[in-house]
Amino acid sequence: MRTCIFLLFVLGWAKLSLAQEELPHTQLYLFQLDYDEGNPFLTKPVYLTAFNAEGYNNQPYFVSDEELYFTAQLADESPQQTDIWSMNLKEGTLTRITQTVESEFSPRLMPGSFYFTAVRVEADEEKTQRLWKFPLDHLDGGEPVFPTIRKVGYYAWVDGRRVLMFIVNEPPLLILANTREYAWEKVSTNPGRCIQHRPDGKMLMVHKESPDKWVIVALDPETHEMEPLVNCLPGSEDFVLLPDGSILQGSGSKLYYYKPGQSSSWEEIADLREYDILSITRLAVNKKGQLILVGKK
C-alpha cells in the first residue's frame, strides 16, 4: 500500500486539464448537503482528485463517514490498470489499497465481515470479470466470491449473504446470488448499473423498460416485485438515496432532487457549470450529509 497526504482544493480555484485515455477523465468533488425549510442545497465545494487530475477517478463509496473508497487509473502509470484507493476526508490522507496487474472496480464493504469486495478484470486472455473479496487488513490477495459466475459488471449487497449482480450479457441480466449455497437466480433483464440499499430492505435500481424509458424502482429481493418510483432524467441512470428516502440524480451539469410520495417531479437544486462540471454521473453520500459526485468537464 502507498499512503500519502493529499490536498483539498476549493472549487473555483482548481482547473482540470483533460487528455484522451481509454477510460474517461473523471474527477471526484465533495459538497456539503444542507437544507432550507426542507429544500436541499449544496455548500462547501471541494475538488478531491488533484493528485490524478488527468486520470480516471470514479465509483466512490463511503466505508465510513470519514473514509471513502474509489477506483482510480493513474494517468502517469504504465501499464494502465485501475486500482482501489482510500481517501480519509478527516485526516487528509490517501492510500492505495490494491496494486495488481489486474484491474479492480466498484469497491463495497461486504456486510457482516472483515472484507471488502470489488469487480476484478482478471489477467487472462478472456479478461474474466468476477466478484472478488479482499481482507480489510490486507493480509492476503483475496479470492473470488463466486468462482463460477463471470461477466460481472456491477453489484450491490442485499445483506451478508446475498448480492445482486449486473451480468454483462445480451440483454444484460440482474441476478441474485447467495454465498451460502453458491446458487443464483435471475431477477430481471435490462437493469441499470446503479443499485442502492433502502433501510426497509428493498433495493432501489433502474429498470430500463425501453431505450427511452428508464425507471427507478424499489425491488423486493424476496419476491422480485418492482415498485416504480420515478422516471429517470433523460439519459441518466446514476442516482443516490438520501437518509430521508429522497433521491438525487444528475443530468449534464445540473443536480436534481426527488422525494417519493412528496415531489410531483424532479426539482433542480444546483447547476455546477460554474465549477466546470459539465457531466454528473455517480454519486455517494454519508450520514453527515457529505456528497461525493463524479464529474467530467
Say what the pLDDT of residue 211 is.
Answer: 94
- Topology of domain 2-296 in CATH is Neuraminidase (2.120.10)
The span from the CA of 79 to the CA of 22, in Å, is 12
Domains of the chain by residue range? 2-296
| Best CA proximity match to 94, nearest among 115, 70, 59, 113 | 70
- The Cα 36–Cα 180 span in angstroms is 46
Per-residue pLDDT at 18? 27
| Model pLDDT, residue 14 | 37
Residue range 271-282, pLDDT digits in tens: 999 999 999 999
Whether the predicted pLDDT of 245 surpasses 60 = yes
CA distances from 147 to 130, 131, 143, 161, 266 (A): 7, 8, 8, 15, 41
Burial of 269 (0-12, 13-18, 19+ CB in 10 A): middle
Structure confidence by residue, pLDDT tens digits, 95-142: 999 999 999 999 999 999 999 999 999 999 999 999 999 999 988 899
Name 257's Cβ contacts closer than 8 Å, sequence gap at least 6.
40, 246, 247, 248, 263, 266, 267, 268, 269
- Count of CB atoms situated within 10 Å of the CB of 53: 17
Overall average pLDDT of the 230-247 stretch = 96
pLDDT at 91: 93
Given the C-alpha cell 423498460, which residue does it identify? 209
- Is residue 17 scored above 60 in pLDDT? no
More confident residue, 296 or 145: 145
- pLDDT reading at 235 higher than 90: yes
Q: Do residues 215 and 228 touch, judged by C-beta distance below 8 A?
A: yes
